Structure 1
Protein backbone atom coordinates (compact mmCIF):
# COMPACT_ATOMS: atom_id res chain seq x y z
CA UNK A 1 0.00 0.00 0.00
CA UNK A 2 1.43 3.36 -1.08
CA UNK A 3 0.84 6.28 1.29
CA UNK A 4 1.83 9.83 0.32
CA UNK A 5 3.73 11.11 3.35
CA UNK A 6 3.70 14.78 2.34
CA UNK A 7 7.45 15.08 2.91
CA UNK A 8 8.09 17.37 -0.05
CA UNK A 9 5.40 19.82 1.07
CA UNK A 10 6.77 19.73 4.61
CA UNK A 11 10.26 20.55 3.37
CA UNK A 12 9.01 23.42 1.21
CA UNK A 13 7.05 24.87 4.14
CA UNK A 14 10.11 24.54 6.38
CA UNK A 15 12.40 26.33 3.94
CA UNK A 16 10.01 29.00 2.64
CA UNK A 17 7.33 29.72 5.19
CA UNK A 18 7.46 28.68 8.80
CA UNK A 19 10.33 26.71 10.30
CA UNK A 20 8.75 25.39 13.55
CA UNK A 21 5.60 23.99 11.96
CA UNK A 22 7.56 22.65 9.00
CA UNK A 23 9.82 20.67 11.32
CA UNK A 24 6.79 19.09 12.98
CA UNK A 25 5.44 18.18 9.54
CA UNK A 26 8.78 16.63 8.56
CA UNK A 27 8.85 14.53 11.72
CA UNK A 28 5.39 13.12 11.01
CA UNK A 29 6.23 12.56 7.33
CA UNK A 30 9.39 10.68 8.27
CA UNK A 31 7.36 8.21 10.34
CA UNK A 32 5.15 7.16 7.42
CA UNK A 33 7.50 4.76 5.52
CA UNK A 34 8.54 2.90 8.68
CA UNK A 35 4.97 2.48 9.83
CA UNK A 36 3.84 1.33 6.37
CA UNK A 37 6.73 -1.14 6.14
CA UNK A 38 5.72 -2.57 9.52
CA UNK A 39 2.18 -3.08 8.24
CA UNK A 40 0.69 -0.38 10.45
CA UNK A 41 -1.24 1.28 7.66
CA UNK A 42 -3.76 3.10 9.84
CA UNK A 43 -1.00 4.69 11.90
CA UNK A 44 0.94 5.54 8.73
CA UNK A 45 -2.13 7.24 7.25
CA UNK A 46 -2.66 9.19 10.48
CA UNK A 47 0.97 10.34 10.45
CA UNK A 48 0.63 11.39 6.80
CA UNK A 49 -2.54 13.32 7.61
CA UNK A 50 -0.85 15.07 10.53
CA UNK A 51 2.12 15.92 8.31
CA UNK A 52 -0.16 17.51 5.73
CA UNK A 53 -2.12 19.34 8.45
CA UNK A 54 1.05 20.85 9.95
CA UNK A 55 2.28 21.78 6.48
CA UNK A 56 -0.92 23.70 5.79
CA UNK A 57 -0.81 25.37 9.21
CA UNK A 58 2.79 26.43 8.59
CA UNK A 59 1.92 27.67 5.10
CA UNK A 60 -1.02 29.71 6.42
CA UNK A 61 0.93 31.27 9.26
CA UNK A 62 3.89 31.97 6.99
CA UNK A 63 1.61 33.63 4.46
CA UNK A 64 0.00 35.81 7.13
CA UNK A 65 3.40 36.87 8.49
CA UNK A 66 4.68 37.72 5.01
CA UNK A 67 1.55 39.75 4.22
CA UNK A 68 1.77 41.60 7.54
CA UNK A 69 5.42 42.37 6.86
CA UNK A 70 4.55 43.79 3.42
CA UNK A 71 1.69 45.87 4.84
CA UNK A 72 3.87 47.26 7.65
CA UNK A 73 6.68 48.14 5.24
CA UNK A 74 4.29 49.93 2.88
CA UNK A 75 2.70 51.79 5.79
CA UNK A 76 6.11 52.83 7.17
CA UNK A 77 7.26 54.39 3.90
Structure 2
Protein backbone atom coordinates (compact mmCIF):
# COMPACT_ATOMS: atom_id res chain seq x y z
CA UNK A 1 0.00 0.00 0.00
CA UNK A 2 1.37 3.39 -0.90
CA UNK A 3 0.42 6.67 0.65
CA UNK A 4 0.42 10.09 -0.95
CA UNK A 5 3.66 11.94 -0.40
CA UNK A 6 3.64 15.65 -1.21
CA UNK A 7 6.09 16.84 -3.88
CA UNK A 8 9.55 17.41 -2.53
CA UNK A 9 9.04 14.98 0.36
CA UNK A 10 10.50 11.52 0.75
CA UNK A 11 14.11 12.56 0.30
CA UNK A 12 13.80 13.36 -3.41
CA UNK A 13 13.78 16.96 -4.58
CA UNK A 14 10.86 17.89 -6.77
CA UNK A 15 13.16 18.97 -9.60
CA UNK A 16 15.12 15.70 -9.77
CA UNK A 17 14.37 13.40 -12.71
CA UNK A 18 12.29 10.27 -12.19
CA UNK A 19 13.96 6.86 -12.20
CA UNK A 20 14.25 5.13 -15.57
CA UNK A 21 10.95 3.57 -16.57
CA UNK A 22 12.55 0.82 -18.72
CA UNK A 23 9.62 1.03 -21.14
CA UNK A 24 11.74 0.40 -24.24
CA UNK A 25 13.15 -2.80 -22.77
CA UNK A 26 9.69 -3.87 -21.64
CA UNK A 27 8.25 -3.42 -25.13
CA UNK A 28 11.18 -5.13 -26.87
CA UNK A 29 11.15 -8.14 -24.57
CA UNK A 30 7.38 -8.41 -24.99
CA UNK A 31 7.68 -8.45 -28.78
CA UNK A 32 10.77 -10.62 -29.14
CA UNK A 33 10.94 -12.81 -26.04
CA UNK A 34 8.15 -13.72 -23.69
CA UNK A 35 4.71 -12.12 -23.98
CA UNK A 36 3.30 -12.67 -20.44
CA UNK A 37 6.37 -11.47 -18.51
CA UNK A 38 6.84 -8.63 -20.97
CA UNK A 39 3.30 -7.38 -20.37
CA UNK A 40 3.94 -7.33 -16.62
CA UNK A 41 7.08 -5.30 -17.32
CA UNK A 42 5.10 -2.82 -19.45
CA UNK A 43 2.53 -2.36 -16.69
CA UNK A 44 5.23 -1.52 -14.13
CA UNK A 45 7.07 0.73 -16.61
CA UNK A 46 3.89 2.68 -17.25
CA UNK A 47 3.51 3.38 -13.52
CA UNK A 48 6.93 4.99 -12.97
CA UNK A 49 6.36 8.53 -14.27
CA UNK A 50 2.83 8.89 -12.93
CA UNK A 51 3.87 7.79 -9.45
CA UNK A 52 6.80 10.20 -9.56
CA UNK A 53 4.55 13.09 -10.59
CA UNK A 54 2.14 12.26 -7.76
CA UNK A 55 4.99 12.46 -5.28
CA UNK A 56 5.13 8.71 -4.62
CA UNK A 57 8.90 8.54 -5.01
CA UNK A 58 9.34 5.17 -3.33
CA UNK A 59 6.52 3.73 -5.45
CA UNK A 60 8.21 5.07 -8.60
CA UNK A 61 11.52 3.50 -7.55
CA UNK A 62 9.79 0.17 -6.89
CA UNK A 63 7.91 0.27 -10.20
CA UNK A 64 11.18 1.01 -12.03
CA UNK A 65 12.91 -1.90 -10.31
CA UNK A 66 9.99 -4.24 -11.03
CA UNK A 67 9.84 -3.18 -14.69
CA UNK A 68 13.54 -3.96 -15.08
CA UNK A 69 13.22 -7.28 -13.25
CA UNK A 70 10.30 -8.45 -15.39
CA UNK A 71 12.06 -7.34 -18.60
CA UNK A 72 15.03 -9.49 -17.58
CA UNK A 73 12.73 -12.41 -16.74
CA UNK A 74 11.08 -12.03 -20.15
CA UNK A 75 14.44 -11.95 -21.95
CA UNK A 76 15.76 -15.00 -20.10
CA UNK A 77 12.53 -16.92 -20.74
CA UNK A 78 12.72 -16.02 -24.43
CA UNK A 79 16.32 -17.22 -24.70
CA UNK A 80 15.54 -20.46 -22.87
CA UNK A 81 12.50 -21.05 -25.09
CA UNK A 82 14.65 -20.42 -28.16
CA UNK A 83 17.26 -22.93 -27.00
CA UNK A 84 14.64 -25.59 -26.25
CA UNK A 85 12.92 -24.93 -29.58
CA UNK A 86 16.26 -25.18 -31.41
CA UNK A 87 17.09 -28.50 -29.73
CA UNK A 88 13.66 -29.90 -30.62
CA UNK A 89 14.10 -28.82 -34.24
CA UNK A 90 17.57 -30.39 -34.41
CA UNK A 91 16.29 -33.65 -32.97
CA UNK A 92 13.32 -33.65 -35.35
CA UNK A 93 15.58 -32.93 -38.33
CA UNK A 94 17.99 -35.71 -37.40
CA UNK A 95 15.13 -38.16 -36.96
CA UNK A 96 13.75 -37.48 -40.44
CA UNK A 97 17.17 -37.64 -42.12
CA UNK A 98 17.98 -41.13 -40.78
CA UNK A 99 15.12 -42.86 -42.61
User: What interval of TM-score do these two structures reach, taking the shorter chain for normalisation?
Assistant: over 0.9
Question: For this pair of structures, how many residues does the alignment match?
Answer: 77
- Residue 19 of structure 1 aligns with which residue? 35
- Residue 46 of structure 2 aligns with which residue? 30
Structure number with the higher helix fraction is 1
Question: Where in structure 1 are there 5+ consecutive unaligned residues?
Answer: none
Runs of 4+ in 1 over 3 A off after TM superposition: none
Query: Any idea what SS the aligned residue of 2:42 has?
Result: helix
- TM-score scaled to structure 1, two decimals? 0.96
Q: Which has the larger radius of gyration?
A: 2
Query: Any idea what SS the aligned residue of 1:10 has?
Result: helix
Query: Any idea what SS the aligned residue of 2:21 has?
Result: coil
| Aligned partner of 1:8 among 13, 21, 24 | 24
CA displacement, residues 14-65 of structure 1 (integer Å, 9 cap, x when unaligned): 0000000000000000000100111111110000000000000011011100
